[in-house]
Structure 1
Amino acid sequence: MYKIITSDMDETLLNDNKTITPKTIDAIKKASDAGVHFVPNTGRGFRSIQHNLIDLGLSQKPNEYVISNNGAVIVENKENQILQVNPLPFDVVEQIFEIGMQENVCVHVYTVDDLYIWNLNDDEKDYLTGRVKDWHIIRGTDIKFLQDTPITKIIFNIDEEARRISVQDYVHEHVKFALNVSFSSARYIEFNDPSADKGQATMALAERLGIKPSEVIAVGDNNNDLPMIKAAGLGISVANGQDYLQSEADYVTQADNNNDPMVEIINKFIFNEK
């Protein structure tokens, strides 16, 4: 039997209205009651999904968890206890940040608890609203105020895929560090420490719980979900997942993120319903 379901949030668990439907909430609660750990696995900070945990009945529960910041942070829900942090070296963050400033893009810098944003534009503000709150807008081009705070990831908001790829190549050329680089939500290029991705974090949590990789289901839609899709015993892409993710997945749902794919997954693979 599968003992963990770990799921991406945006464009996977959340519909386009940025909510989890009552039907999906009921299915997740049913799986939880059957002893399955439901672990949100998000690129965002864990504080941004606390309202979702309340909806799912997982808020402040012991022995229930969130993986956040693209796998850089593992949190137990009870008292939001931080179990693992895999930060980037500050000098590497500073180099990437300077490239973002040169490119004049919207830059997000994540610590364990906070999100700092430079060059916030209206489109990005609309996307974040309802997903993230209490971010800090920073003026100017200074990041040294964070040099003594563990930074878990830095990302650029770039809508054009070709430009994301071009910036990725430029960063690889100029930053001499083995970064974990990924894309998400068809709008971000994300930079993490190589020790941090959704797959490594999922396996670290499973090991902590004494759960085998074969007993893990991972669900996602985009490039930054690929490590957990490949690491899990059952890797699943939702129907709206990127083509390359679907090609790597063991199963692709019939439902997209607007039609309760998690209900399909839980019914089929947890309760063996046709």
Structure 2
Amino acid sequence: MDETLLNDNKKITPKTIEAVKRATAAGVHFVPNTGRSFTSIQDNLIELGLSQKPDQYVISYNGAAIVENKENQVLQVNALPHEIVDQLFQIGMNENACIHVYTVDQLYIWNMNKNEENYLDGRVTGWHLMRENNIKFLQDTPITKIIFNIEEEAKRLSMQDYVNEHVEFALNISFSSDRYIEFNDPTADKGQGTMALAKKLGIKPSEVIAIGDNSNDLPMIKDAGLGVSVANGRDFVQAAANYVTQADNNHDPIAEVIDKFIFNEE
């Protein structure tokens, strides 16, 4: 979604909407594969003509949930152990980070700041501000992902090292939007989510196209038959991709991929 499907104004352009609708009319499954909640992209699904459609899907929380668009039916959830989320929450709190805790259908935010609020505006709505300094109130609720908003890359990398050293659990750690460090269960990443859905649909990995821009996109880019980085993707994402678009996220890279690889149009 962000920095790939959406432009810097947080919009899907008419050209991309037209291309997606053309592809889905031809029988393509167009699956937003996002670190965000499926609830946060419902307006985008309406624009793309995918809202409430049977046999069309969203993969959310970096692969921790697979959802069919018709009635937002949750088909699969790969949640984190609560004791690990609690440990991560304490680490983030000690760093005074802005922390996002995702359940299957809700987002809770601790230590919201104005910069983060401005970034989320137009992308995410309906979050709950946390007043408690713990997550005990969620002890009976599956948690799909926890992330820290840390603005400086060096500090995000340092946090990764710290967590790897102090948390005795094989976390899936990734980065997104050049502002987040994200923690998922090891069974949840965008590649595993993509392949699980492809298997359900009877689609071979070689028939899958995955498009992204940052480290949380790497698993699906590597697992897909055609892994694509948008032109604004991080250098290491471009290096891992089979194809790098000429267009960045402000100039319809999704339409470029659809035209070139689905309809064989240059």
* TM-score range normalised by the length of the shorter chain: over 0.9
Q: CA deviation at 1:142?
A: 2.0
* Aligned equivalent of 2:170: 178
Which of 191, 197, 205 is 2:189 aligned to?
197
Q: Which secondary structure does the structure 1 equivalent of 2:30 belong to?
A: strand
Answering whether residue 95 of structure 2 is matched by residue 112 of structure 1, we say no
1:48 to 40, 52, 55: 40
Give the corresponding residue for 1:139.
131
> Secondary structure of the equivalent of 2:101?
strand
The match for 2:14 is 22
Equivalent position to 1:152, from 144, 149, 153? 144
Alpha-carbon distance in 1 for matches of 2:159, 2:194 = 28
1:139 Cα deviation (Å)? 1.4
Which residue matches 2:53? 61
Unpaired stretches in structure 1, ≥5 consecutive residues? 1-8
**In the aligned structure 2, how far is the partner of 1:166 from the partner of 1:240?**
24
What whole-Å deviation, never above 9, does each CA across 1:233-259 have from its counterpart, x for those lacking one?
A: 000000000000000000000000000
For residues 203 and 253 of structure 2, the distance between their equivalents in structure 1, rounded to whole angstroms, comes to 24
Partner secondary structure for residue 3 of structure 2: helix
CA displacement, residues 129-161 of structure 1 (integer Å, 9 cap, x when unaligned): 100000000113121000100000000000101
Q: Distance in 2 between matches of 1:142 and 1:252?
A: 43
- The whole-number CA distance in structure 2 between the counterparts of 1:206 and 1:140 is 40
Which residue does the alignment assign to 2:27?
35
1:260 correspondence with 2:226: no
Letter in 1 for 2:150: I
Q: Distance in 2 between matches of 1:17 and 1:128?
A: 12
How far, CA to CA, are the matches of 2:110 and 2:86 in structure 1?
A: 13
| TM superposition shift of 1:11 | 0.2
Contact conserved, 2:64 with 2:78, CA < 8 A, in 1?
A: yes
String of CA shifts for 1:21-64, please: whole Å, max 9, x gaps: 11100000000011000000000000000000000000000000
Cα distance between partner residues in 1 of 2:163 and 2:62: 19
Instruction: Give the % identical residues.
Output: 75
CA distance in 1, matches of 2:86, 2:196: 28
1:99 aligns with 2:71: no
Aligned to 2:67: 75
Who is 2:3 aligned against?
Answer: 11
Runs of 4+ in 1 over 6 A off after TM superposition: none
Cα distance per residue 1:102-125 (max 9 Å; x no partner): 000000000000000000000000
Name the SS for the 2:146 alignment partner: strand
Residue equivalent to 1:3 = none
Q: Alignment length, in residue pairs?
A: 266
Shift of 1:263: 1.1
Q: Which amino acid aligns with 2:126?
A: D
User: Which whole-Å CA distance do the structure 2 matches of 1:213 and 1:142 have between them?
Assistant: 41
CA distance in 1, matches of 2:198, 2:130: 37
Q: Which amino acid aligns with 2:2?
A: D
Q: Look up the SS of the partner of 1:11 in the other structure.
A: coil
